[in-house]
A and B are shown apart, each in its own frame.
Chain A
Amino acid sequence: MNLLRTYILPRIFQWFLVVFIGITVTFLIPRLSPINPVDEILARMTAFQTMDPEAFKTMRETTLALYGLDKTLLEQYVLYWQRLMVGDLGPSFGNFPRPVTEIIATALPWTIGLLLTTTIISWTAGVLLGSLAGYFHNRRWAQVFERVVVVIYPVPYLIIAFVLILIFVAELKWFPLMGGSRGDAALTWEYISTLIYFGFMPALSVVIGATAFRFIMAKSLTTTEIASDYVQYAELAAVPKRKIILFYVARNTMLPQVTDLALSLGLIFEGALITEVLFTYPGIGFVLYNAIYNGDYNVIMGITLLSIIGVATAALLIDLLYPLFDPRVRLR
């Protein structure tokens, strides 16, 4: 009971606070931006034809009213919360009147599929290789590995992606440039293989940098850990290496690594904007890019809302689960 009151409840309250502030800020930011979605649409409509100024004015007002942008900021804010409570994120301004929830629901599986895979692969590979390279830092393979990673890590993501596109897509033509899959969605190998085929390049481009980052992190954590008194003492006492690596080194470096994994998983809901744009991958990053371009407030807010909730929930879960990993934060 005490645990619930002193540990769990404050953290859940914190979660609500973070989400509330986050939603308020995301409500304000697009409205403060110089792009007005109504003017964007009207500009597109009047691009190839002239319009009577009077009609133009009426049309602008009607559209503003239709989108709910004629009301004061406060009224819009209250309305926004009211709709949010029933799970309505409003219509998309760019694809009026398609609901934002529908747009996100279509795009989200692509992003989750792509980023869940890359996060798990890069985390596992980076932590495993980095820890081993840190523990066996005198071995030749570990040193070679480290040099390679140190060279790759600082390369900007865009350049890695472009190089991959140039080599494997443009030159060798092994992989397609755009799209997510071919054929109708079904649980057949035929369809799934096209998923892998289309997703391979975007995934690879993300995995390279993310693995390098985790490798460096895992290696430096391990280097600190093997110099610690308890690892040195266990080695002096000839405790078997396997045990030292598992229970003395990895068990301790795992603490920050788990936090990193959880936060990365929370960030999935933000999408991989650059990746999805570069590879024209139909995920929420791509949707977000178009929404920003069109001043599509509701879509921007829907996606931001998702990522706020994603990160806040991940942080909450870490807080609640951390005592299981680290006895030092347990309540006594």
Chain B
Amino acid sequence: MGTIIETNDLRAYYITQAYGVERTVKAVDGITLRIKEGEVYGIAGESGCGKSTLLRILLGAYEPPLTVVGGEVKYHLDGDILDAADLTDEQQRDLKWRTISYIPQGSMHVLNPVRRIRDTFHDFISAHRDATKSESFQLTADYLRDLGLPEKVLASYPHQLSGGMRQRVTIALATILWPKLIFADEPTTALDVVVQRGVIQMLKDVQQKEGSTLVLITHDIGVHANLADRIGILYAGKLVEESDTKTILENPRHPYTRFLIESLPSLDSREERLAIPGRPPALDRPPSGCRFHERCPLAKDICQTVEPDLIEIEPKHFTACHVVEEELSSVAV
């Protein structure tokens, strides 16, 4: 399986200027990713770690103050390598929905409140494909039936649907043209767990039907465990650990990932879960060295000054941590 999207040392900052004071928020700071065709890649991390920003850049949907200051995003599509920064407006438009699509965060408000669902579908379909109204309706009705959604939602207005149904309709709207690459931003957040399960199942169905690639962003490790093939852990705008889902869940190495996994409730144990000490750093003045050192119980002197590199500690398991690195080298010696 080839790569479908890659980033190389991607840096994207929010640069704002108010009353002559310039403020730079380093939301994405040197991220290198390779996402393979047909896989479900999960991006996890706490609020404000740059997850959604990264997604916006990958999607090519960003405006100032968010600016890409370094690195690159490349799509590998049908044998061509396209640099996201070089795309013309026309290419952007052609790629959207037919090839690259997006399931937004907070689907409560992404559907036009004064437009029937079927008309919204027609708007989105006809923007990318010659389709008459009745063709669009037919396509939509078939697709919704495949996904197990009731046909009556077609004639409804968004406010007549429940939150879970609206999220499912939004997923259907995003994937109606069978895109190769789907980005989903917190698709299950704000839904109760029963509905979450249905939405996760639906995402799985959509992804597996055509073997699309799904890039899934959520802070909910449980959702990643259900869906993702590989997980990347983001902390303060940096990728701190990346491996397949099983390894991340069973053998996390970075202290931050460990905290994340250990904080998950378990059916077997009733003991109290520890929260990660401290709070996420402000990204306009990130800590020096390893960005996690202020909250890390294992932190050493080197962590405060030298930024750790992402190294492969075992096959296909990458971690950026001085402590882990030292342990490994001492074992090797």
**Residues on A close to B: CB < 8 A?**
228-230, 233-234, 236-240, 243, 247-248, 251-252, 255, 325-328, 332
Contact = CB atoms under 8 A, between A and B. Distances in A.
- Among A237, A326, A327, max chain B CB count under 10 A is at A237
Nearest to A240: B127
B127 A238 contact: yes
**A-B pairs with lowest CB-CB distance, top 10:** A229-B109, A238-B93, A233-B110, A327-B157, A230-B112, A239-B127, A238-B96, A229-B110, A239-B123, A237-B124
- Chain B interface size range: 20 to 34
A239 B112 CA distance: 13
A327 B155 CA distance: 12
Contacts of A243: 123, 127
A238 B128 contact: yes
- Among B61, B123, B128, B157, max chain A CB count under 10 A is at B123
A250 B113 CA distance: 13
B114 A252 contact: yes
B134 interface: no
B308 interface: no
Interface string B254-280: 000000000000000000000000000
Nearest to A243: B123
A315 B109 CA distance: 29
Give the dominant DSSP class at A's interface. Answer: helix
A327 B160 CA distance: 10
B109 A237 contact: no
Contacts of B108: 229
A326 B114 CA distance: 6
Contacts of A234: 112, 123-124
B111 interface: yes
Contacts of A251: 112, 114-115
A240 B93 CA distance: 10
Contact of A247 (B123, B128, B157, B160): B123
A233 B108 CA distance: 12
Contacts of B119: 247
Interface string B114-134: 110001000110011000000
Nearest to A230: B112
A238 B60 CA distance: 12
Interface in B205-243: none
A328 B157 contact: yes
Given A229-B106, A230-B110, A236 B96 contact: yes
B34 interface: no
Given A234-B124, A252-B114, 11 more contacts: A229-B106, A230-B113, A233-B104, A234-B123, A236-B102, A237-B97, A237-B124, A247-B112, A327-B113, A327-B157, A328-B113
B115 A247 contact: yes
B246 interface: no
Nearest to A328: B159
B196 interface: no
B61 to A, nearest CB: 5
Nearest to B89: A238
A232 to B, nearest CB: 8
A19 B256 CA distance: 70
A236 B59 CA distance: 9
A1 to B, nearest CB: 22
16 contacts: A229-B104, A229-B108, A230-B109, A230-B110, A230-B112, A233-B104, A234-B124, A237-B97, A239-B127, A247-B119, A247-B123, A248-B115, A252-B113, A255-B114, A326-B114, A332-B160
Contacts of A328: 113-114, 157, 159
A239 B173 CA distance: 13
A325 B115 CA distance: 11
A53 B92 CA distance: 95
A208 B115 CA distance: 34
Nearest to B101: A237
A236 to B, nearest CB: 5
B104 A237 contact: no
Interface in B146-179: 157, 159-160
A230 B111 contact: yes
Nearest to B159: A328
Contacts of B113: 230, 252, 327-328
A171 B331 CA distance: 98
Contacts of A332: 160
A209 B110 CA distance: 36
A217 B115 CA distance: 23
A237 B98 CA distance: 10
A228 B96 contact: no
B101 to A, nearest CB: 8
Given A236-B61, A237-B96, A328-B157, A248 B124 contact: no
Contacts of B114: 251-252, 255, 325-328
Contacts of B159: 327-328
B285 to A, nearest CB: 29
Contacts of B123: 234, 239, 243, 247
B115 to A, nearest CB: 6
